[in-house]
Amino acid sequence: MSGRDRAANAGDLAARVTGVVRACLSREVARVEPLAGALSLRRFARVWLAGDPASLIARVDAEEDPAGRPPGIPAEPPLEPVRAVFEAGGLPVPRRLGGDPRAGIELLEDVGSVSLRQLARGADVALRDALYHEVCGWIPRIQSLTDPGGVPAFERRLTAAHFAYKADLFARYSLRRGGRDASSAEAACVRDAFAAIGRSAAAAPQRLAHRDLHSENVMARVVGGRRSLAMIDLQGALCTAPEYDLVCLLRDSYVELAPDEIDRHFERTRRALPDASDAETARHRFDCLTLTRKGKDHARFVYAASERGDDRYLAHLSTTLRHLRAAAAAAAARDPSLAGLSEVIHALPETPCAP
């Protein structure tokens, strides 16, 4: 995108957001600051105001992804009312200040710009343990939430279509090497293994999950001079196996916890879950879900670089690959049918090959 196009987009964003702020809050906008986006095409901006609050966050729905939505997977529902369900359950989420759903714009409390990723990077072992203990404590509380009536998140599931989509991404982008695409045997191995993991996840107790609870979606806000953590970006919430959010958090591509840290937080949280499975069952699902979730993340990082020219995420491929290899070895040791997928993963290059 040219500098002129970026400026035009920023100007359009500022005009749209300013109009919604004026209409909903009767406040004048001093400045609209576009925020760096992630892999999603959704846009965010920090809106500076005169008075209290001094700032808020505008969340602007994306146009349809040009890559297309996978067949059989409906679009994510709006942020409301699932945000309100989390808030009513006492979970730390940004307050809603207003918005225009027809324009696809929500106005939310500004919970700051310091993420768990940044906090964890500079933390000693004790502080990092405390931070992750706090966030892990949210997971049983999320899973204890119930539908007050008509909230789409409680009807949504990780389906076979989701796992097929992840398998296709992984085969198409992560397995590309030496100028060639994945072989038909490699693609079939990934497809069959991901489908089997999907069936196992569907057979597990189904509980509400944030679905993207990693360190970039946990922010440190300051209230009354004290720091507290809050979760953002929860519109993708759905019901799935109880270990899913633990995969996102403990096998994060942005913060690499040591194996003993992962084990400690996993086991402590497992025992607190509403549907606490035995340790062996839960750990196997955790490892298997790591293969599909981190496989998808690895592929998306490669896709962003090769198709969008966004190479910010290539720095996280090594961490992602280490998570994949650890999970693959553990999962295949418990289930020999996953040995083929483990071999495919262990053969992945440390750096992706050009398309």
Question: Which residues sit opposite 48 in a β-bridge?
Answer: 31, 55
Domain that holds residue 245: 112-355
Q: How many domains does the chain have?
A: 2
Per-residue confidence (pLDDT) for residue 75, from 0 to 100? 84
Q: How far apart are the first and last CA of the chain?
A: 21
How far is residue 327's CA from residue 54's CA, in Å, rounded to a whole number? 45
Decide: 21 and 199 in contact? Cβ < 8 Å.
Answer: no
CA trace torsion 113, 25, 94, 154 (10° rounding): -140
How far is residue 305's CA from residue 312's CA, in Å, rounded to a whole number? 8
Q: Do 142 and 234 sit in the same domain of this protein?
A: yes
Please name the residues in contact with 341: beta carbons below 8 A apart, sequence gap of 6 or more: 189, 190, 193, 291, 328, 332
Per-residue confidence (pLDDT) for residue 155, from 0 to 100? 96
Q: Do 37 and 151 sit in the same domain of this protein?
A: no
Q: Do 206 and 355 sit in the same domain of this protein?
A: yes
- Buried-exposed string 70-92: b where 16+ CB fall within 10 A, e elsewhere: eeeeeebbebebbbebbeebebb
Distance (Å) of CA 188 to CA 101, 174, 184, 293? 42, 14, 6, 18
Q: Do 208 and 354 sit in the same domain of this protein?
A: yes
Amino acid at 280: E
What is the DSSP-derived secondary structure letter of residue 182?
Answer: P
Per-residue confidence (pLDDT) for residue 282, from 0 to 100? 98
Q: Do 92 and 159 sit in the same domain of this protein?
A: no
Q: Do 106 and 119 sit in the same domain of this protein?
A: no
Q: Do 11 and 83 sit in the same domain of this protein?
A: yes
Q: Do 330 and 303 sit in the same domain of this protein?
A: yes
The 10 Å Cβ neighbour count of residue 144 is 12
Question: Which residues sit opposite 207 in a β-bridge?
Answer: 240
Domain C-terminal end among 53, 86, 110: 110
**pLDDT tens, N- to C-terminus, the chain (355 residues):** 443 344 446 678 899 999 999 999 999 999 999 998 777 778 999 999 988 889 999 999 876 554 455 777 888 899 999 999 999 999 999 999 999 988 899 999 999 999 999 999 989 999 999 999 999 999 999 999 999 999 999 999 999 999 999 999 999 999 987 668 899 999 999 999 999 999 999 999 999 999 999 999 999 987 777 889 999 999 999 999 999 999 999 999 999 999 999 999 999 999 999 999 999 999 999 999 999 999 999 999 999 999 889 999 999 999 999 999 999 999 999 999 999 999 999 999 877 654 4
Per-residue confidence (pLDDT) for residue 53, from 0 to 100? 85
Q: Do 206 and 354 sit in the same domain of this protein?
A: yes
